[in-house]
Structure 1
Amino acid sequence: MDQPGLYIHVPFCRSKCPYCDFYSLANTSLMRDWLDAVISEMGIYKGCFKTFNTLYLGGGTPSFLPGPHLEALVTQVRGHFAFAPDAEMSIETNPRDLTAEEAALLKTLGFNRINVGVQSFHDDELCFLGRQHNAKDAIAAVSRLRDAGFDNVGLDLIYGLPGQDMERWLDTLEKGLSFEPEHLSCYQLTIEKGTVFGRRKEEGDLDPIGEDVEREFFLTTSEFLTGRGYCHYEISNFARDTKHTCLHNEKYWRRTPYLGLGPAAHSFQEGRRWWNVRSVRGYCEALRNDRAPVEGEETLSPAQAHLESVALGLRTRRGFDSSEIVNQMERKKLDELESRGFLHRDGNRVVPTREGFLVAEQIPLYLCEEGRL
């Protein structure tokens, strides 16, 4: 697991979804400049990382790239960096992009793990979320991936929409399971500042669901999918079995080295984390002038690294090593959290329960600093 991962941020979409706060543009005018800049950035880090065993194209919408751009990108990646023979090669896709020809191209380029941004199998919910596809498009997209020979397909779904009831959400899950996906990511709709939904919330035009409803959706989702044989291995992620967890994302949760290329991408190596400028134009300009497009960096203190290790571990069913908890007060709090049903012991690992996942963000501060839970 100590082999590094490579992430490439593709910041282009057909349109900007009203809930999305990831950096992306609904404009293709700088796409060619971005591609040239990413290739230049590859040159900066050539030889700086060991052999990669994951590649993850995220965004934005990587499948929105024209075929020649995607081919050129993958060719340059392989020319600049070494990959393990069995490397996990992932790409995020939009159902509208997944024609039979696109699916065949992804297979030819060596991708072996496809994430499909389905979000819902109900057209009215897709319309509310500002998606450009409908339920039929999603069904056809997954079918084309199977026809192309992909045996590692993941579906991204969103729950907790205002007014959504449990029956409709379970119907979406049931439809998703009919494709026997190897992976499911089930995200609660969050309303972020700076997004269209965020502005609507500030104006009183959009009311998020309450905490009790959030809890019900989360617990029901976990119980439903684990009951159907899926492993709930991270707060929002489920895999058919352990070999189908997302190896790339596990690097983030385990503080394994990773390199991020593209605007707004983050990297981590030897305790140092750095991130690129959140602007395609600024990113391209820096690389045209032979400058690394880095906007900032940090090196965590031992205390900060300890807190982060615990926090990231609590996002996953792997948890963290009990040796991370060293002082008597922390151990006392750990015992208390176990008695309250938030954590349990698995050998020398401290692992969150389903209820523990619900409060995973609060537990580290409660353990390591003054706080209440």
Structure 2
Amino acid sequence: MSLPTAHLEEKSPLKDTTVMPGLYVHIPFCRAKCPYCDFYSVHDSELYAAWLKAIEQEIVLYKDRFSHFGTLYLGGGTPTVLPLDHLSRLIDSLFRELTLAPWAEKTIEANPDDITPEKLILLQNSGFNRISLGIQSFNDRILQLLARQHTAVASRQAVVAVREAGFENVNLDLMYGIPTQSLNDWIQTLEEAGSMEPEHISCYQLTFKDDTPFWAEKERGALQTLTEAAEEEFFLATSELLQSKGYIHYEISNYARQEKYYSAHNMNYWKRVPYLGLGPSSHSLNHETRWWNYRSVEYYIQSLQQGRPPVAGREILSPEQVRLEALLLNFRTRNGMDLKTLQKYHHANRNLPHLIESKLLEIIGDHVRPTPRGFLVADSLAQHFC
């Protein structure tokens, strides 16, 4: 197999920054591919060993380019699908070659059917202090429609298991807007999730992505998407219910019981703090420079076998692109943007009063932030200032 080489970059060091960068590690393996998912993953266990050796090589490539990381996030794919010895070896390599701050948030994604007592002990002993469970629903009919490998019972057992293992910061990933799912179905899942008192809940609307089985079924009329009115109803009902249970709606899709349980890793994404991505298809950001790895395990492995960074491409953002991206990301969060900073954007003084009157934005203290209805159109809010 020959590698495309036009966009390979030999060095992509992160600049010094007063805020510690984040570290993301993409584990590109799943037991099976969910029909709605367009994240890069494969289900070929024969690639585990070669991938693990390759990512160990990539870790070494970056070990001397910065001092500390403030967050670690193992995502996928499904990190916990790895056999215990592979997962242990990956963690050992990361902690041996790279340095995390003593107080760093260390998160791992897990599916209910992949959790074992041995893996939970490994994670606890390794210092992981946050676990994100891919629950999606507590309704077996919905889980079957999504082709998830676990049941509602397995989800409940997984939550109990991570608590018994000592995890004090647990996130539940949930999904709504699924064909045939009623608002009542969704509310029941939210109620059950809330009764478990996780520190964090993420609620994502199902989106139909190109090149997925769900997209093909939608195109031939076999699956129906939510109407705009239904999207609003689901979203606002979610926000109202979880806030009534004491959760802070701090980002479009994310809720936390207290500010200390906000996802520090994701908050850094939204603040444009530099981050390094390792593994196939991962992305990295160094202020105005973004680069990304091959979206192929095979290309990724071969590149590193040849002693080259597995970088497929890179881009340098213009100052105006950085300003627009910062605005887009800030309007995803409850904190919004500093009023004085926002007023430096084009058309701010002209359009801000209208957006406040329309109850899409509000001024709290010295910040302009989206309302829950503003979250619904967050991606378009920035267009009013550019």
Query: Shared topology, TM-score over 0.5?
Result: yes
1:260 paired with 2:289, answer no
Separation in 1 of the partners of 2:83 and 2:126? 13
Q: Percent identity?
A: 49
Deviating more after overlay: 349-358 vs 7-16:
349-358
- TM-score, normalised to structure 2's length? 0.93
What SS does the corresponding residue of 1:30 show, helix, strand or coil?
helix
How far did 1:252 drift? 0.8
Alpha-carbon separation, structure 2, partners of 1:327 and 1:309? 11
183 and 327 in structure 1: CA distance in 2 versus 1, 3 angstrom threshold = closer
Instruction: Give the Cα separation in 1 of the matches to 2:265 and 2:116.
Output: 26
2:46 partner SS: coil
**CA shift for structure 1 position 34:** 0.8
- Change in Cα spacing, 1:321 to 1:299, as seen in structure 2 (3 Å) is farther
Other-structure match for 2:170: 153
Kept in 1, the 8 Å contact 2:273–2:287? The answer is: no
Question: SS of the counterpart of 1:232?
Answer: strand
Whole-Å separation in 2 of the counterparts to 1:98 and 1:264: 25
Structure 2 counterpart of 1:204, one-letter code: G
Q: What amino acid is aligned across from residue 90 of structure 2 in structure 1? A: L
Q: Distance in 2 between matches of 1:28 and 1:149?
A: 30
- Answer with 210-219 or 313-322: which moved more: 313-322
Structure 1 stretch displaced more, 296-305 or 276-285: 296-305
3-state secondary structure, aligned to 1:29:
helix
Question: What are the residue-to-residue correspondences of 1:285-324 with 2, within 5 Å?
Answer: 285-322=302-339, 323-324=341-342
Among 232, 236, 252, the residue aligned to 1:235 = 252
What amino acid does structure 2 have at the position aligned with 1:223?
E
Native 8 Å contact 1:99 1:141 kept in 2:
no
Corresponding residue to 2:294 among 254, 265, 277? 277
For residue 344 of structure 2, the aligned residue among 318, 326, 335 is 326
Q: Cα–Cα, structure 1 residues 44 and 363, in superposed 2: closer, same or farther, change >3 Å? A: same
Correspondence for 2:10: none
Cα distance in 2, alignment partners of residues 277 and 57 from structure 1 = 18
Residue pairs, 1:8-23, within 5 angstroms: 8-23=25-40
Deviation of the 1:188 alpha carbon:
0.6
Cα deviation 1:328-372 (Å, max 9, x = unaligned): 62321122111111111123321111111000011112321xxxx
2-side partners of 1:216 and 1:327: how far apart?
A: 32
**TM-score normalised to structure 1 length:** 0.96
Separation in 2, partners of 1:132, 1:84: 36
Q: Can you list the C-alpha shifts for 1:101-142, whole angstroms capped at 9, x where unaligned?
A: 222222122111000000000101000001000001000011
8 Å Cα contact 2:194/2:242 also seen in 1: no
The code of the aligned residue for 2:293 comes to N
Map residues 325-364 of structure 1 onto 2, 5 A cutoff.
325-326=343-344, 329-364=347-382
Aligned amino acid, residue 367 of structure 1: F
Aligned residues of 1:4 and 1:49 also touching (Cα < 8 A): no
Q: Using the alignment, how far apart are the partners of 1:87 and 1:261 within structure 2?
A: 18
SS of structure 1 residue aligned to 2:347: helix
> 1:99 Cα shift?
2.2
Structure 2, unpaired ranges of 5+: 1-17
Q: Deviations over 1:2-28 (max 9, x none)?
A: 111100000000000000000000211
1:183 is aligned to 200
Match of 1:371 in 2: none
- Name the counterpart of 2:8: none
Q: 1:14 corresponds to which letter in structure 2? A: R
1:224 maps to: 241
CA RMSD, aligned part only? 1.1
Letter of the 1:361 partner, please give it.
D
Look up the equivalent residue of 2:360 and give its one-letter code.
F
Mean Cα deviation higher: 320-329 or 22-31: 320-329
Aligned ranges 1:109-258 → 2 under 5 Å: 109-258=126-275
Q: Give the partner amino acid of 2:385.
A: L
What CA distance in whole angstroms lies between the structure 2 residues aligned with 1:344 and 1:186?
23
Give the alignment partner of residue 96 of structure 1, picking from 110, 113, 117. Answer: 113
Letter in 2 for 1:227: S
CA contact (8 A) 1:6 1:55 kept: yes
- Kept in 1, the 8 Å contact 2:84–2:118? The answer is no
From 100, 115, 139, give the equivalent of 1:83: 100
Distance 2:121 2:88 in 1: 12
Counterpart CA distance in 2 for 1:118 and 1:348 is 38
Does the CA contact (< 8 Å) of 1:4 and 1:54 recur in 2?
yes
- Per the TM alignment, residue 82 of structure 1 is displaced from its structure 2 partner at its CA by 1.0
CA shift in 2, pair 1:40/1:328, >3 Å:
closer
